Structure 1
């Protein structure tokens, strides 16, 4: 009897194991038969403004249901296209990351629609010790002399004229994958046309400085700037007090009973700002 129970347990275990093996084999077969499609990916890191050629690309099997929108299946479609942003190795090439067809290579392909690129001369101090790298955002500050106002001399003022300006390139490099500081002599900024005019005027009237800001900080702060007197704690001269209005002196009407000056001698008496006539 005991042998029968043990045999039954063994048979039951074998059946369970066989069923599990059949299920696992079916699952593996279904996974192996999942549909895939070829997706073009970057074989090397591609910097913004670079012209794409076949040596930069490779193909990778991608699950058909998870293909990224805008992906390419044929590397021939990407011949001579221009990368608009930095594309890392193994990353799918998407149409949104490329400049429009017919765009030439270089920095012009990286400039956003409606914007302009403008270069300003900097040094190790103005350029934030080389930490203003492509892809960073900076504020632009100018230190200038105000124009004369009447007899007063123009005051020296420091004021922020532009906020959250994108750095497109430092010197002749537009790559955004480097975090090491680079002390250069020129920085190229992305600006609107109106901001380009402001920056052109600012660099002609004073000294420019770049102020590095947080990448995700999008707040703008409007300031009136600061003058040398305000910096050193000087106070503005008080405004002159207005002149007092003149006091009008009123002559009281003569009484009907008062004798005429032709009959008596009269004397004008001024007392407390009031004119009175005394006759006798």
Structure 2
């Protein structure tokens, strides 16, 4: 009896193993057939490798290598002017590009969506958080003789008349230092080969600084002074010059007239005491 039970158990185990083996072969064959079908389907649609976005790229954002990748795109619906391996979007010799509009993930990168090499999406792409753009009127003298370029930093001096605190006259004062230029006239790109006699320059500054510059421009004359590229020193002290300090003249303190001495005598008149002035004697 035990022998029969053992034989039945062995036969059952064998049948179960055979069933698992057959199932594995069937599943493997099905997966291979599915992969082959997918490959045949892809092969039946001609594709071309083009650059697409890998994530959302906001307007004005500088496009980096991490923002794009090569991906297959059906040739039948291939957009015109796409960037490919032979005409890359970025690479050696190609300067920065920025998005000219919001680009969604896995969109085909097109020339209408990105700027030319070294281009920008407008002044907003040059502004940092908390900054605004403000235009200043300049001429040959106040604009450093046409040597200003976008990206330069300047000190701004104000010259005007002051009549406060008992003082009056013309004063020149450094009101802002290290202000960044983002455009000269209507150009935000740098061209080192051209000399521009600007009529306006646009600076990037906080709203508080813009309010100071607005008042200064309406009450006096502004002059720009170009700062060196390597100059990182901060001007902590107030710089102010008037006509006397410019000529090295020390203003004399006003002479106060001697105070006239007054002498009095007290006379009682009834219940009242009256103070009567009298000549002073030494």
| TM-score (structure 1 length as normaliser) | 0.52
Report how many residues are paired: 178
Instruction: State the Cα deviation string for residues 173-205 of structure 1 (Å, max 9, x = none).
Output: 111242532112111111111110110011111
Give the alignment partner of residue 141 of structure 1, picking from 137, 157, 166. 157
Match of 2:250 in 1: 235
Gaps of 5+ in 1: 1-37, 41-48, 58-67, 80-86, 247-272, 274-280
Q: Is the Cα contact below 8 Å between 2:60 and 2:101 reproduced in 1?
A: no
| SS, match of residue 73 in structure 1 | strand
Q: CA deviation at 1:234?
A: 1.6
Match of 2:123 in 1: 107
1:211 maps to 2:244: no
Q: CA deviation at 1:109?
A: 2.2
Gaps of 5+ in 2: 1-48, 52-58, 74-81, 83-89, 104-112, 114-119, 262-281
Q: Is the Cα contact below 8 Å between 1:134 and 1:175 reproduced in 2?
A: yes
Q: Flag the 1:89–1:122 CA change in 2: closer, same or farther, 3 A.
A: farther
1:225 maps to 2:221: no
| TM-score (structure 2 length as normaliser) | 0.51
Tell me the C-alpha RMSD between the 2 structures.
4.2
Q: Is the Cα contact below 8 Å between 1:120 and 1:187 reproduced in 2?
A: yes
Match of 1:73 in 2: 69
Q: CA deviation at 1:106?
A: 1.8
| SS, match of residue 200 in structure 1 | helix
| SS, match of residue 184 in structure 1 | coil
1:173 maps to 2:176: no
| SS, match of residue 155 in structure 1 | strand
Aligned equivalents of 1:180, 1:209: Cα separation in 2: 22
Match of 1:123 in 2: 139
Q: Is the Cα contact below 8 Å between 1:99 and 1:109 reproduced in 2?
A: no
Match of 1:202 in 2: 216
Q: Flag the 1:139–1:98 CA change in 2: closer, same or farther, 3 A.
A: farther
Instruction: State the Cα deviation string for residues 144-187 of structure 1 (Å, max 9, x = none).
Output: 1002444x5x1110011111111111111111242532112111
Match of 1:185 in 2: 199
| SS, match of residue 146 in structure 1 | strand
Matches within 5 A, 1:147-162: 147-150=163-166, 154-162=168-176
Aligned equivalents of 2:175, 2:96: Cα separation in 1: 38
Aligned equivalents of 1:122, 1:142: Cα separation in 2: 13
Q: Flag the 1:106–1:240 CA change in 2: closer, same or farther, 3 A.
A: same
Aligned equivalents of 2:143, 2:160: Cα separation in 1: 18
Q: Is the Cα contact below 8 Å between 1:137 and 1:213 reproduced in 2?
A: yes
